[in-house]
Structure 1
């Protein structure tokens, strides 16, 4: 009896001593220790009083450890709160407590274009043509909360011909947003004109922008230019932007005069899966060298001009753009109309007009919605609901676009007008947020084509422009 009692006392002492000396990592198993004590008291190895004592000691140690951990967390947070924070979630960004941020990003778009039927691919001749459409890196940031900057460079040269893709500086600007709700930007940046143009090429629905943008807007001084601009946001639905500009960083524009651009947008509804947007823009551009002329490919990059105002060489252009868009769940629709007037041409050449419009619809088969930003009046990155490798198959999107354009000049040139209707069907797959694969089929439907146009020269003998069709594939990665 004595030996049994002494053994139990000895066992209890050993357990108490062990609990007193236990390390912090071992305390994490307090629940297992309590289960062991219950077994021992049931078997009579320790008394109920000893069990209660040990139970209280175990719980007290657990509370002490929790307290120590919380103190350590608070101490670490205090000592590291002034250190920069690094984010790698879809981006590489460093930020600090003073409102300073530095971000490094880039994009790579690799395209292959096939000409089908009787068409070829312009100066490239045969088919297919493979190119890096864009290969960009950028550095952007915020300092002291209110100052922003961005420098972006494109390393992709104009490998495929067609729409200008000269390597060089894309963005180089500084902006101040301290005069809320007004933001002022100085440097080389996008002019506030056209919803499709202002949406990054990373987020546009189709591989190439419409003829309206790549033809009329681009050739009348739109896109990125040197300038000073201001934009403001009002009543959670209105935006206004205006600027003065004087040429692109990648063109010889020493004799360019200053142009003016403005844009107004209205978005009474901009919820996560619902949106209504309308906008109106104007651009006045002057080229003192008389180099203005509008032409454009059939919504592919390495292609031949299908619409053109010939080589009149006008000095001034006035361009109007109207825009409308909507989102309802996985469905989206977008429409734009542009009208440009070219003035002050060479002797014997009168003014020229160019009009174009497009409408397109898109639908996410996997339930996502397009991501609209009402302050910029454009689209941002779509968030994939179920990414590949995380239990899903990514996002799948179908799209269809119809474009119609007509360029007129009344006299002094070989061609009085050129017209074209183009349809583009697209399929996009977003396996994860930062990767996209796209396929587009482009068909020229109806055109009046003069023998002087590039596309006419590129068709096989006996073929008409209606025989021109193209298939484009793209792989895209960005961060």
Structure 2
């Protein structure tokens, strides 16, 4: 009976969509009246809110020109490198059934993992205190990570997220979330597709966000996150793309703990927006404890932060207080400029430090710590609520790299620059 009722609703929704495009014909339903919303994708719902169906999607096309350390593995090491590729392409369906049951799935293509279903979940909202989500989904973790990839400030998130595990999408998880008018609390247990022997390795995640001041879009935001990766003798690596994506998806790797006993991290968030002026910062610490395959100590401590400030002309950012995240601009035609400084330190036991960091690049001293830093400036233009055009300039550097060596006759470089552009369409 449930299957028949829902199938009838979905069929009516699709028929309405077709008739709306054809501008002809008559559609009827034996249930509640139906409302069609085409302001953002295609959304069909019953007037009593018992059933809904929304079709959405995203296309991000990137072009990047970079050099230096991140180009160490190119045909001509460290030289100018140009890539253009589809960063993300997504088609998603979300909705509700019998008011309290939510569902969603998404087919996604990105430059890293190809094409697959990276979302498939069911949510129950019939409890007064919490919403429960089960399945494969993206987790709220950190301010910039919780914000949709459509509406993050830079083309890429700060590279500190490369050093974290808690921001990763689940392979299968159970998420419990409670929200109020100016706060949110979340707890989760999930697997991420990795196994130790015959058992899946679980991670445990907590997040709390709070807006002590909230007046429309003017807000002060605070948040805290904790994640335990519970590796159970699995591998733990510390590596980053330095905020640059390419079609080769190369990373600079610092440490590799082959037999990790524990892997924990926490993140603090702070942000504020008053009118078009917006500022935010996040700080993290991660600690890995474990050994090499031959039993040598391979502990690693990683910590870092970023600070960012921006201003939006002809609009302001939306803010979702319960989820604790930024949203799209309130007005079409908005222009946003921003600047961000990032800094992270990686301090690992000598046995944990890798010999080949990227393309044959080696550390200067395995007993010293590494420091990775970057400056990012950019501009975003939102001509409509569906289209975004972005341009970023990235200047990065990594300390403790052996620049006295050569690779294919080229001097090793420990820094580099990049110009990245993106065209985005969201519906």
TM-score (norm 2): 0.81
Give 1:148-159 correspondences, 5 Å limit. Answer: 148-158=102-112
Is residue 448 from structure 1 mapped to residue 400 from structure 2 by the alignment?
yes
**Contact 2:289 2:300 (8 Å CA) reproduced:** yes
- Counterpart CA distance in 2 for 1:280 and 1:443 is 29
1:297 to 234, 241, 245: 241
**Contact 1:138 1:151 (8 Å CA) reproduced:** yes
Gaps of 5+ in 1: 1-77, 159-164, 388-393
SS at match of 1:477: strand
Aligned to 2:133: 185
**Contact 1:293 1:309 (8 Å CA) reproduced:** yes
Aligned to 1:418: 370
**Contact 2:299 2:352 (8 Å CA) reproduced:** no
Aligned to 1:24: none
Aligned to 1:146: 100
- Counterpart CA distance in 2 for 1:117 and 1:294 is 20
Is residue 97 from structure 1 mapped to residue 47 from structure 2 by the alignment?
yes
- Counterpart CA distance in 2 for 1:88 and 1:124 is 47
Deviates more, 1:434-443 or 1:220-229: 220-229
How far residue 458 of structure 1 moved from its aligned partner, in angstroms, is 7.7
How far residue 344 of structure 1 moved from its aligned partner, in angstroms, is 2.6
CA 459–288 in structure 1, closer or farther in 2 if over 3 Å, else same:
farther
1:262 to 206, 216, 219: 206
Aligned to 2:18: none
**CA offset digits 1:297-332 (Å, max 9, x no partner):** 110112643462245452431010000000010011
CA 445–460 in structure 1, closer or farther in 2 if over 3 Å, else same:
farther
**Contact 1:98 1:144 (8 Å CA) reproduced:** no
Larger Rg: 1
2:296 to 348, 351, 360: 348
2:342 to 398, 403, 424: 403
Higher helix share: 1
SS at match of 2:132: strand
Deviates more, 1:84-93 or 1:297-306: 297-306
**CA offset digits 1:355-400 (Å, max 9, x no partner):** 121010111122x11111011011122122xx4xxxxxx1111011
Aligned to 2:414: 465
- Counterpart CA distance in 1 for 2:274 and 2:308 is 14
- Counterpart CA distance in 2 for 1:457 and 1:150 is 51
**Contact 2:236 2:256 (8 Å CA) reproduced:** no
Give 1:316-355 correspondences, 5 Å limit. Answer: 316-346=262-292, 347-355=295-303
**CA offset digits 1:147-197 (Å, max 9, x no partner):** 111101212343xxxxxx443222211111111231111111223321111
- Counterpart CA distance in 2 for 1:155 and 1:323 is 29
How far residue 204 of structure 1 moved from its aligned partner, in angstroms, is 0.2
**CA offset digits 1:198-239 (Å, max 9, x no partner):** 1110010100011111x122xx353211211111124x3232
> Number of aligned pairs?
378
- Counterpart CA distance in 2 for 1:306 and 1:174 is 37
**Contact 1:365 1:395 (8 Å CA) reproduced:** yes
**Contact 1:268 1:276 (8 Å CA) reproduced:** yes
RMSD: 2.7
SS at match of 2:266: strand
CA 122–146 in structure 1, closer or farther in 2 if over 3 Å, else same:
farther
SS at match of 2:173: strand
CA 278–146 in structure 1, closer or farther in 2 if over 3 Å, else same:
same
Higher strand share: 2
1:242 to 179, 187, 204: 187
SS at match of 2:199: coil
- Counterpart CA distance in 2 for 1:358 and 1:299 is 12
CA 108–284 in structure 1, closer or farther in 2 if over 3 Å, else same:
same
- Counterpart CA distance in 1 for 2:47 and 2:128 is 21
1:427 to 354, 379, 384: 379
Aligned to 1:380: 327
Aligned to 1:172: 120
Aligned to 2:226: 282
Aligned to 2:216: 272
CA 299–323 in structure 1, closer or farther in 2 if over 3 Å, else same:
same
